Structures are given as C-alpha cells and as structure tokens.
Amino acid sequence: MSIFKGSGVALATPMKENGEINYDSLEKLIEAQIAGGTDALIVCGTSGEAPTLEDQEHLEAIRFAAEVTKGRIPVIAGTGSNNTAHAVMMSEESEKLGADGLLLVTPYYNKATQDGLYAHYRKIASATKLPCIIYNVPSRTGTNILPETVAKLIKDQKNIAGVKEASGSISQVAKLARLTEGAVDIYSGNDDQIVPVCSLGGVGVISVLANVAPRETHDMVMHCLEGRYTEAKALQLKALPLVEQLFIEVNPIPVKAALNMQGFAVGSPRLPLTELTDAHKASLRQAMIDFGCL
C-alpha cells in the first residue's frame, strides 16, 4: 500500500500579513514543487504549522492542495493529534476532501505507553481506507514509538504503510528495517540522514530541505534507490551546511524565511513562532547562495 518513493516535501503554509492562509502563494509553491521533481506533498504537518491552524482552515488547505495537484503527485494530509478522536475526525474529513494518504504524528504531551500508541494508531487507521504514515519525532512529542510496536501495527493494520523516522537514531532505523522486513516504507524524517536511512532500506524522505531545493532532494533519493551512492553521498554532504541553517531556529521559522528570500511570499510564522533573527537570516542566505538555491 505504498504511497510514494522519493522526496516528499513537508510543505510550509504561506500566510498573509493578517495571518490568513495565502492560497495564491500556496498554489505557486505547489506548482514549483511539482515542476522541481518532488514526489509527494505533505500538507499541514509540522512545517505547515498545523498546531496553530484551526480545523476549518486546516481542512480547507488540504482540500485546496488536492484540487490544485489534480492527482499529479500524492497529497498526504497531516492529521495527527494527541487526541485520538480528533485525529480520527480529521483523517475521515481529509479522505473525503481528496487526500491520498495521512501523516500521523505520535501523540505529544500525553506520553502514551507503547500499548497506548498501538491502540491510538489502530483506531485512526481503521477509520479510513487511506494509507497512513506514522511520524516518529521524539524531540518534539516526548514519545518514541519503538520498532517492535510498529512491527505489530503493520501486521495487524494493513493500511499503515510507512514510518517517517525522525528519532535521529540510525540504530533504531536499522532495527525497524530488520523487524519489518520491507513490509513498511521507511522515510527519513531528517534531511541530514537521507542517505544513511536509504542505505538501510528506506525509500525516501519527508523533507524540509525540499521546500527550497526540490530537485536536489529528489535526486539524492533517486541516486540511492538506483544504487548510485557516490553521487548521493556527494549531494548529502553538499547539503549539510544548508540543512544546518534550516534548523538554526525551530522549524518552520528558517524555512519560511528561506522561501521568502526565494520570492514565494509565504509571510511570517504564526505565534508563538516568530521571525528568524537578522543574524540567522544572513547565515541562512549565505548557505542558500553556497548551495545554489538562491
């Protein structure tokens, strides 16, 4: 039930000066991503500022992205929550609105047990026919879903199709790959670990970097999938200074600044996130120039 292989962009959500979603800019971003070779759009995830989107605008952004994309590449809706019932509702609505898959972050703040995580994901996935991607990002959620739990889930719930692994632990990725034996798609959730994850059987990345460098991110994954690891390694190492700058402050603060520099008019993040500092804007700009995306 694979959704995509390659580079999925964790798309930023453009905002107007009054804080509303800027749909004109969102359409331009989507078209630029498709033209740049991106293999899937992830809408309203962390990079899309999902925590500060109201349900109505969150769902409207998903509907709009599906309408603009017109099936050219998959649209994966971020519908995760620490409230299982809310995640079910958002997932059901996103399916009705044309999403091709779901990205479901591990519950944050509650700090569920592994049994709780298993029950949470089964409840959401059983409410939809869409393929689901588990998003494991302990640095943000305080919860780490273990490879053993994922292995049990994919055996018992057939539409759990992927894992976005952003634990930062290559050992955990290796164990996940060993226990699942290719039965689930593994995506790097960290732009500095695309090649290492693919070398262990990963099939792609869900990427912040792809917002500003879609072609290079796509090519990096394709080099891996086609066995050209020398070329993939060269791109990975070249991208490291830019990746560092894209996380110099909490995501998506830097990537929105970077997109503004590229002329996409994505505006500022919503509070409690703030504008990138001037010093960091300067270092980010230089990294973008050095990489060749500005």
Query: Is the peptide bond between 272 and the residue preceding it cis, with omega within 30 degrees of 0?
Result: yes
Candidate list 118, 121, 164, 281, residue with the active-site label: 164
Nearest to 13 by CA among 246, 251, 293: 251
135 catalytically annotated: yes
Catalytic residue among 118, 121, 135, 187: 135
* Residue 143 neighbours by CB under 8 Å, 6+ apart: 106, 107, 108, 110, 111, 112, 117
- Only one residue has tokens 């995580």, namely 117
Rounded CA separation 10/225 (Å): 20
Assess whether 108 carries a catalytic annotation.
no
The residue type of 231 is E
Q: Could you tell me the CA-to-CA distances from 190 to 128, 177, 251 in Å, in that order?
A: 28, 17, 12
CA distance linking residue 126 with residue 159, whole number of Å: 8
| Residues belonging to the active site | 135, 164
